[in-house]
Amino acid sequence: MRPFRSTMTRRPALLAASFVLLAATATRAQAPAATRPAPLTVPFAQFTLANGLHVILHEDHTVPLVSVNVWYHVGSAREKPGRTGFAHLFEHLMFEGSGHVKEGAFDTLLETAGGTNNGSTQTDRTNYYIDVPSNALELALFLESDRMGYLLDAMSPERVNGQRDVVKNERRQSYENAPYGMAQIEIDKMLYPEGHPYRWPTIGYMEDLTAASYQDVVEFFKRYYQPSNATLVVAGDIEPAGARRLVEKWFADVKPGTEPVTPITYPRPVLTGVQRKSIQDRVQLPRLYLSWLTPAFFTPGDAELDVVSQVLAGGKNSRLYKRLVYDLRIAQDVSAFQASSALGSQFEIVVTARPPEAGTATQALVDRIRGIVDEEIARLQTTAPAAHEFERAINQIEASFYNRMERVGGFGGKGDQLNSYYFSTGNPDYFNEDLSRYRALGASDVQAAAASWLPLNRRVELVVEPQK
């Protein structure tokens, strides 16, 4: 047994230096050195345990809070056709007790200590965080290490079946019975060929969840939930030497994996023309989705397309919002985004139409909206955005970047970002390099990205119509 005995005492919080966001200028790259923002750094220490677990420590005494953030480098892309949904099913099972934590006690212990926790699954990774007052750090490390090392001790076919039913209900609620819920599943099928790991939804298919056996789950855990395939970040009100001792105390006895995780092999997706499809749903308003295959996370073109999304649909002053929603009043809302991922990304524009006027067919309204979207894309492909448009887009991205850095815990906080940067680049402190991708851009780069990556004759078009 490995009973939990706390040896951590609370340390007083110290004042932390605040970040100063300097005003951006339209000529960042040419600005004198005295006016350029200072390089952004987030101090950290890192080490690797004998079992392969990589650990990153970040000290921040702004508030007496600590975030314990774990990334397992496995998501739905590691699943196999016919066995989809395993990564997300495992996220659920990780909260159901482990070798030394009874079922239901995980949340109870944290709530008693004033902590919160959550997890999420994506195509490329599964992450978990525990945010606690700094005097409860050891409790968080105990809980996290126990489910990493001793989850199978508490696993049973009955527990797998119970969470399988929970995931099925989640799929019904979030996809099958949600307005427009099946749209993204259809889009991914159109974008990616058979065998590509982004083709199936993260939550999995119903028939695969039904077919999953207890032994399948055990094998998935042993292969991917090993220490060498995970990264642990402890960020917040810590003393690094003391935090390291606690990490070693609770994680050193976790057994290493038996075989290394190999790179994913997959067919390359290619769009040679326009693929169109219409589906019906229990909705009141038609919605148009336009999707393109775009560069992977942190590769050339990824940052530029973030700016393209802001110019086209980033707020009420953006081009598409102004024309479709404000001037013509034929759309209820419009959004655009670059969904960045490790094996390739997708750029998506989504427009929800307003109710058609009397005598106007739904298809005619959708065609009109599509035509206006294409006009704005074509205009951006031939003419660089105006200085004020470009500047507003960069400022919006910078503001969002610094807003995330103000938090140490939760999804998107500094603990999560340190893990994300390490996963993507091998450098936890990639903050400055990430932000510099945008600061180095010019308006012509945005134009070139739109011309290169958003061809009007090679994309996926999906229309969701109100059910007749």
Taking only the tens place, the pLDDT of each residue in 245-281 is 999 999 999 999 888 899 999 999 999 999 999 999 9
- Calpha distance 146→156 (Å, rounded): 17
Residue 28 has pLDDT above 50, yes or no: no
* 183-193 per-position pLDDT tens digit: 999 999 999 99
Residue 29 has pLDDT above 50, yes or no: no
Quick one: 350 exposed, middle or buried, by C-beta within 10 A (0-12, 13-18, 19+)? buried
Which of 30-34, 105-109, 312-316 has the lowest average pLDDT? 30-34
Residues of the chain above pLDDT 90, percent: 86
- Backbone Cα Rg of the chain: 24
* 394-430 per-position pLDDT tens digit: 999 999 999 999 999 999 999 999 999 999 999 999 9
When pLDDT is cut at 50, 70 and 90, the band that residue 375 belongs to is very high
Q: Domains in the chain, ordered, with CATH?
A: 42-251 (3.30.830.10), 274-466 (3.30.830.10)
- Give the pLDDT confidence score for residue 38 in this predicted structure: 75
- Give the pLDDT confidence score for residue 15 in this predicted structure: 29
- Give the pLDDT confidence score for residue 258 in this predicted structure: 84
The answer to whether residues 310 and 392 touch, using CB atoms and an 8 Å cutoff, is yes
Which of 33-37, 210-214, 372-376 has the lowest average pLDDT? 33-37
- Give the pLDDT confidence score for residue 434 in this predicted structure: 98
Residue 47 has pLDDT above 60, yes or no: yes
Q: What is the mean pLDDT of residues 372-398?
A: 97
Q: What is the mean pLDDT of residues 314-325?
A: 96
Q: What is the mean pLDDT of residues 99-107?
A: 96
- Give the pLDDT confidence score for residue 33 in this predicted structure: 43
Do the bridges between strand 54-59 and strand 274-281 make them parallel or antiparallel, or are there none, so unpaired?
unpaired
For 180, the token pair is 């427009």
Which of 47-51, 89-93, 209-213 has the lowest average pLDDT? 209-213
Quick one: 52 exposed, middle or buried, by C-beta within 10 A (0-12, 13-18, 19+)? middle
- Calpha distance 207→213 (Å, rounded): 12
- Give the pLDDT confidence score for residue 430 in this predicted structure: 98
Residue 35 has pLDDT above 60, yes or no: no
Q: How many CB atoms lie within 10 A of CB 356?
A: 17
- The average confidence (pLDDT) of the chain is 91
Q: What angle do CA 179, 312, 121 make, to 5 degrees?
A: 45
- Give the pLDDT confidence score for residue 50 in this predicted structure: 97
Name the more confident of 37 and 362: 362
* 323-359 per-position pLDDT tens digit: 999 999 999 999 999 999 999 999 999 999 999 887 7
When pLDDT is cut at 50, 70 and 90, the band that residue 219 belongs to is very high
Residue 152 has pLDDT above 60, yes or no: yes
Which of 1-5, 283-287, 368-372, 446-450 has the lowest average pLDDT? 1-5
- Give the pLDDT confidence score for residue 468 in this predicted structure: 82
- Give the pLDDT confidence score for residue 13 in this predicted structure: 32
- Give the pLDDT confidence score for residue 166 in this predicted structure: 95
